[in-house]
Amino acid sequence: MSQTRYNNRKTFVNEEEVHDELRSSRDRKQIGQYETPRLRDISDAQRSRLGMKEHIWSHGDKYWKLASRYYNDPQYWWVIAWFNYKPTEAHCKIGDTIQVPFPIDKVVKYYSQ
């Protein structure tokens, strides 16, 4: 699948002084960086057209592990985070119900619309 979370994002040249040390360590004058994404919410109608598996968040869980388990591909960790409105694992508490939407190609299509 060629669609990724970076497809609709612009890049820019970051020449901020705060990154001088990073540029120096990489022997670069400038660094290309992706813009911060503006995530769209998935509509109720789109949600209703998806299959769903529920996962109870437990000690040691990581989004990439769930993506690997349910999608056989850890690169789709961001789908689970986006779909649950929990951008990082720090937003999850043990016992939380995490919804894993299916099929992945349809979810990614909804994300990119």
**Domain ranges within the chain, ordered by starting residue:** 1-38, 44-112
Distance, C-alpha 29 to centroid of its chain: 29
Question: Smallest Cα–Cα separation from 101: which of 44, 64, 47?
Answer: 47
pLDDT at position 20 is 86
CA-angle at 33, arms to 25 and 89, nearest 5° = 95
Name which of 9-18, 66-75, 90-99, 103-112 the model is least confident about: 9-18
In sequence order, what are the beta bridge partners of 55?
98
Per-residue pLDDT tens for 39-65? 778 899 999 999 999 999 999 999 999
The share of the chain scoring above pLDDT 90, in percent, equals: 59
